[in-house]
Amino acid sequence: MEFSQILVAIGFVLMLHAAFSAVHFKGLAQLAGAQTTDHLIPLDVKLEVILSVLLTLIGTLSLAGAFVPFTGSQALGESSWTANITEAQAFHAYNHRNRFLRKRVEK
């Protein structure tokens, strides 16, 4: 297992533990007779959620690999963007309205 996968796994486990702790605290507060608006989630559970999100985020971003340059000219290299559009099959139009417009113009 890579280090980034371990970070993601630890982040998920911490998130599950924080959820269990929040539910456990809510049950204990209800047993103590507190109103539903009287108790908030404890600070340690909130910090555990923040830590787990950060660990999962860092692990996921490091799993993604190298990022592609943001500008199009760097991403495409020497080729132009018009060359890539004209080569794409989705932009080819074989049955378009030109044949109908040509008949109207010739009349």
Per-residue pLDDT reduced to its tens digit, 45-57: 999 999 999 999 9
Q: In whole angstroms, give the CA distance from residue 46 to residue 103.
A: 71
Question: Across residues 50-76, what is the average pLDDT?
Answer: 81
Which pTM value belongs to this model? 0.60
Question: Across residues 23-39, what is the average pLDDT?
Answer: 80
69: left (phi over 0), alpha (psi -120 to 50) or beta: beta
- Is the pLDDT at 65 greater than 70? The verdict is yes
